[in-house]
Amino acid sequence: MTAEIITIGDEILIGQIVDTNSAFLGKELNKVGISIYQITSVQDDKNHILKALKEAEDNADIIIVTGGLGPTKDDITKHTICEYFNDTLVENKDVLAHIEHLFSTYISTPISDLNRRQAQVPSKAKVLMNQFGTAPGMWIEKNEKVFVSLPGVPYEMKGLITNEVIPALRKKFKFPYIKHRTLLTYGLGESAIANRIEAWEDALPDFIKLAYLPNLGRVRLRLSGITLDKAMLDAELEKQIALVLPQIEDIFVGFEEDISLEAIVGKQLTELGKTIAVAESCTGGQFAKAITANAGASKYFKGSIVSYATESKVNILDVPKKDIESYSVVSKEVAEAMADHVRKMFNSDYGISTTGNAGPSKGDSDAEVGTVWIAVANEDKVYSEVFNFGNHRDKVIMKATNKAFEMLQKEILKK
């Protein structure tokens, strides 16, 4: 059973937006046992959409289309689908009532004909009610194949997939069992890992695929299998993991399965009843943002200070001015004072700090672009390390944030 995802919109092709919908769709469909054959992003152009629909119908059993359902003239998906299925648009009373309700409740501008026209759907389509917006989803069947058209606004699409599309697909089809197990590692490159585990990799059974996913100082190892025999696949995956784990013990962080290192750290802190506070300079809020992306972060995250200006390090974080003058703002001494003081200010168990130069120019310090000091403090001591994360601003910020999480986790695991 395979699916093809078609995302529609010139804004995707010219790179004005990043297509995050496809990743969500891929993950959710895959979870229930659907293999994604292909993701195709096409222009707001009738003939191109028709061609993509035809090819997807040839390639896959389930075709999910997103985008082009808005109220304005550049949105042509609904009319194109009508043409593809040789159908006409009819007004759906439930959708119209829903649109009128949304306008009367949340929107200050009056409802217009453009909005009302969003209640028109192809006569052959089953309507999927959109809880979070005005454009309904549509479900059309043809020769045992399913076509679903969804709005491109991410949270509207997500609501429809979770509440409507997945349950309906499970009702209609019987899917095989797909399982991925992803081992999160840090501190070693992919080829070094591959060399270490080569004998194990070569002996993997044919129905299990291994992939290496490197990203800024972290490598994920993903084992994937697809089968009708759930018990066999589960057992084999566990067996293979038990074989490889001793070989990567020193670099193994945890299992990903939709959990990030940030979430793992959060879980560990929650279990230990410990808290953290953060003083960020060059990472500029990225660490705090990553922590608070997890619901429940308020259990272990006390807060953070982004001391971007040098004077803020002195005034807010109480870093000794003479340390900044003697050692510069990017130094072991300043990093450690930041971690220690932020921990005390917030009365937390751990304090983490970053100070460095993300580039592109040298800023308030003489440190080379890419130089970052990261410090960790607990109630007994504070220590730090220095890194050079290269000369690419975003990369420096992300690598420094990743490394800070790595150092924090290593500190937590010492207990």
Alpha-carbon distance of 278 to 24, in angstroms, equals 31
Strands laid side by side in the 218-227 sheet: 208-215, 218-227, 177-186, 252-255
Between 161 and 190, how does the x/- string for binding to a copy of itself read (CB under 8 A)? -------------------x-x-----xxx
Among 53, 130, 144, 155, binds a copy of itself (CB under 8 A): 155
**Total residues binding a copy of itself (CB under 8 A):** 106
- DSSP β-ladder status, 218-227 and 177-186: antiparallel
Instruction: For the segment 272-301, give every residue that binds a copy of itself (CB under 8 A).
Output: 275, 278, 280, 284-289, 291-293, 295, 297-298, 301
Least CB distance from residue 23 to a copy of itself, whole Å?
Answer: 4
Q: Which of 400, 378, 406, 407 is nearest to 260 (CA)?
A: 406
Residue 139 bridge partners (DSSP): 126, 148
Alpha-carbon distance of 85 to 141, in angstroms, equals 10
Give me the torsion for CA of 52, 58, 61, 65, rounded to 10°.
0
Q: Which C-beta is closer to a copy of itself: that of 44 or that of 340?
A: 44
Least CB distance from residue 390 to a copy of itself, whole Å?
Answer: 7
User: Which residue carries 């929650």 as its tokens?
Assistant: 270
Least CB distance from residue 281 to a copy of itself, whole Å?
Answer: 9
Instruction: For the segment 305-364, give every residue that binds a copy of itself (CB under 8 A).
Output: 305-309, 311-312, 315-316, 345-347, 358-361, 363-364
Alpha-carbon distance of 201 to 223, in angstroms, equals 10
Least CB distance from residue 124 to a copy of itself, whole Å?
Answer: 26
For residue 123, state whether it binds a copy of itself (rule: CB under 8 A): no
User: Which residue carries 């609904």 as its tokens?
Assistant: 78
Number of C-beta neighbours around residue 246 at 10 A: 8
Least CB distance from residue 308 to a copy of itself, whole Å?
Answer: 5
Piece in contact with a copy of itself (CB under 8 A), picked from 22-30, 90-98, 243-251, 379-387? 22-30
Q: Which C-beta is closer to a copy of itself: that of 75 or that of 323?
A: 75
Structure tokens of 249? Answer: 């013990």
Instruction: For the segment 28-87, give every residue that binds a copy of itself (CB under 8 A).
Output: 28, 30, 36-44, 48, 52, 70-74
Instruction: For the segment 355-414, give every residue that binds a copy of itself (CB under 8 A).
Output: 358-361, 363-364, 390, 392-395, 397
Report in angstroms the alpha-carbon separations of 17 from 8, 153, 233: 12, 11, 38
Report in angstroms the alpha-carbon separations of 227 from 25, 157, 206, 236, 237: 21, 29, 12, 12, 12
Least CB distance from residue 368 to a copy of itself, whole Å?
Answer: 14
